[in-house]
């Protein structure tokens, strides 16, 4: 079957993303909007161009990756006339990240073989820091146009073992997977490549993982058995978990949380407590607090993995999230997050999109994605994340220079 010809706006958008010029990328994105292109197709063209050319060697922040992923996901919660707005903001971020020269543009290379052998080879490549091999092996684990859960399981497990930069590896892996999924897994291996490369830089900070495994072994907990826990995290159990999150040592925190699971607390109930505590810490911050925001984003990613995976090790990211919070200053006990609900989501996302790449746009977009996901994506919703988002946006320095070009196209939504 013949491949459809690319539409005229796609080449201009791809070139603009590769150019490292966010203003040109915005103009190209607006041209795609004017051509009546769906927001998801605009994101697809930008994501492929970004994945082909982003520099994966220097340890730079992948603002474009999280921006495009968050933008596509946030667009689903907006009225049709606004859906392209967060995608365009993600495109601006994608244009600002460092790029490879044209001669080094990334090509799709796939290693094929039996899947269990590929997963072992991928894990070895990650631990050896062989990111080029890891990318090609991981590509072999994926199927074009389909989600391959086993590939996600191994990626998220090895990412969660390494808490370098506050768990950034897991966040990138989850955001890349969510982006590839939103795009229907067309060129999914290419879209995933930057995150796979970041994960495959060797295990740099395994201390938290080793502590968890040591405590787990001493307490003789059956990992498979706790997957069937159905208990809530209320009353004494909730207090015990919160006490663990304020423990003076990593070991005490790990033990307190693992003992809660041993008593029958369900994994999602634990995740709910952790996410809510992370959200309240952002809401209680006296200034724009990147570590606190990072803690909430990581906790949301951990809860997402818990829902995605069926393996025994899916609990690992949630336990890591507990240790992340333990390392932060606890929130004041009297903090009250402003009450917010689903009606506020569109207004909050709009306020996030008023910012440009020269401000905290990347951090606020991934925070918005986490807050909205927690408020709408789970039966046990965490609405406090929306208040945390409002607080962070109010505290954040802004770059409104590019906003004029967008405001006329995307008028502010009327409040309910």
Quick one: which of 251, 257, 290, 256 has its CA closest to 271? 257
CATH number of residue 94's parent domain: 1.20.272.10
Q: Are residues 363 and 233 in the same domain?
A: yes
Q: Would you call 61 exposed, middle or buried from its count of C-beta atoms within 10 A (0-12, 13-18, 19+)? A: middle
Please write down the long-range contacts of 30-37, taking CB distance under 8 Å and 24 or more positions apart: 30/88, 30/405, 30/406, 30/409, 33/84, 33/88, 33/409, 35/7, 35/8, 35/9, 37/7, 37/9
Q: Are residues 65 and 91 in the same domain?
A: yes
Q: What confidence tens digit (pLDDT) does each residue in 350-382 have?
A: 999 999 888 899 999 999 999 999 999 999 999
Q: Are residues 185 and 120 in the same domain?
A: yes
Q: Contact at 8 Å (CB) between 57 and 130?
A: no
Q: Are residues 377 and 284 in the same domain?
A: yes
- Residue 410 counted as domain residue: no
Q: Are residues 236 and 166 in the same domain?
A: no
Domain boundary among 76, 104, 132: 104
Rounded to the nearest 10°, the torsion over CA 240, 244, 248, 250 is 150
Q: What confidence tens digit (pLDDT) does each residue in 236-258 have?
A: 999 999 999 999 999 999 999 99
- Residue 65 counted as domain residue: yes
Residue 202 backbone class (left: φ over 0; alpha: ψ -120 to 50; beta: rest): left
pLDDT for residue 3 is more than 50:
no
Q: Are residues 144 and 241 in the same domain?
A: no
Domain boundary among 176, 199, 222: 199
pLDDT for residue 5 is more than 60:
no
Residue ranges making up the domain that contains 94: 8-104
- Residue 412 counted as domain residue: no
What's the structural domain count of the chain? 3
Q: What is the CA radius of gyration of the chain?
A: 21
User: In the prediction, which pLDDT does 204 show?
Assistant: 92
Report, as an integer, the average pLDDT of 259-281: 95
- Residue 76's pLDDT band (cuts 50, 70, 90): very high
- Residue 342 counted as domain residue: yes
Q: What confidence tens digit (pLDDT) does each residue in 99-129 have?
A: 988 888 877 788 888 888 999 999 999 999 9
Q: Are residues 383 and 291 in the same domain?
A: yes
Q: Write down the mean pLDDT value for the chain.
A: 91
Q: Are residues 226 and 352 in the same domain?
A: yes
- Residue 146's pLDDT band (cuts 50, 70, 90): confident
User: In the prediction, which pLDDT does 333 show?
Assistant: 63
User: In the prediction, which pLDDT does 397 show?
Assistant: 86
Q: Are residues 382 and 349 in the same domain?
A: yes
Domain boundary among 53, 81, 104: 104
Q: Are residues 238 and 350 in the same domain?
A: yes
Give the distance, in angstroms, between the CA of residue 17 and the centroid of all CA atoms in the same chain.
21
Give the residues across from 265 on adjacent strands.
231
Q: Contact at 8 Å (CB) between 42 and 14?
A: no
Separation between Cα atoms, residue 237 and residue 256, nearest integer Å: 10
Q: Are residues 128 and 24 in the same domain?
A: no
Q: Are residues 211 and 140 in the same domain?
A: no
């Amino acid at each position: 079957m013949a491949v459809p010809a690319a539409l005229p706006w796609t080449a201009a958008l791809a070139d603009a993303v590769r150019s490292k010029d966010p203003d040109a990328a915005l103009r190209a994105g607006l041209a795609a909007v004017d051509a009546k292109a769906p927001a998801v197709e605009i994101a697809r063209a930008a994501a492929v161009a970004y994945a082909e050319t982003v520099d994966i060697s220097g340890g730079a922040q992948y603002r474009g990756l999280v921006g495009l992923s968050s933008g596509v996901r946030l667009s689903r919660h907006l009225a049709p006339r606004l859906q392209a707005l967060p995608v365009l903001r993600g495109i601006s971020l994608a244009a600002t990240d460092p790029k490879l020269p044209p001669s080094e543009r990334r090509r799709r290379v796939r290693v094929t073989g039996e899947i269990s052998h590929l997963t072992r080879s991928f894990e070895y490549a990650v631990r050896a820091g062989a990111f080029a091999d890891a990318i090609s092996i991981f590509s072999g684990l994926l199927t074009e146009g389909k989600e391959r859960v086993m590939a996600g399981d191994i990626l998220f497990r090895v990412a969660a073992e390494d808490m370098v930069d506050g768990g950034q590896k897991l966040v990138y892996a989850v955001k890349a997977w969510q982006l590839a999924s939103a795009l229907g897994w067309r060129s999914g291996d290419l879209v995933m490549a930057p995150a796979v490369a970041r994960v495959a830089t060797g295990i740099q900070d395994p201390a938290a993982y080793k502590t968890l495994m040591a405590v787990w072994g001493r307490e003789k907990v059956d990992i498979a058995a706790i997957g069937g826990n159905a208990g809530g995290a209320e009353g004494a159990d909730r207090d015990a978990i919160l006490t663990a999150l304020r423990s003076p040592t990593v070991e005490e925190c790990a033990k307190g949380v693992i003992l809660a699971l041993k008593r029958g607390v369900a994994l999602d109930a634990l995740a709910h407590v952790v996410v809510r505590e992370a959200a309240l810490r952002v809401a209680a911050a006296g200034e724009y607090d990147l570590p606190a925001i990072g803690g909430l984003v990581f906790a949301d990613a951990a809860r997402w993995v818990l829902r995605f995976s069926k393996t025994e090790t899916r609990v690992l990211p949630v336990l890591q999230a507990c240790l992340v919070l333990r390392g932060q200053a606890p929130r004041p006990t009297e903090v009250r997050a402003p009450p917010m609900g689903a009606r506020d989501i569109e207004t909050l996302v709009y306020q996030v999109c008023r910012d440009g790449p020269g401000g905290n746009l990347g951090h606020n977009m991934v925070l918005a994605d986490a807050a909205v996901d927690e408020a709408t994506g789970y039966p046990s919703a965490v609405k406090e994340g929306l208040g945390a988002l409002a607080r962070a946006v109010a505290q954040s320095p802004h770059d409104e220079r590019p906003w004029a070009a967008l405001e006329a196209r995307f008028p502010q939504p009327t409040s309910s």
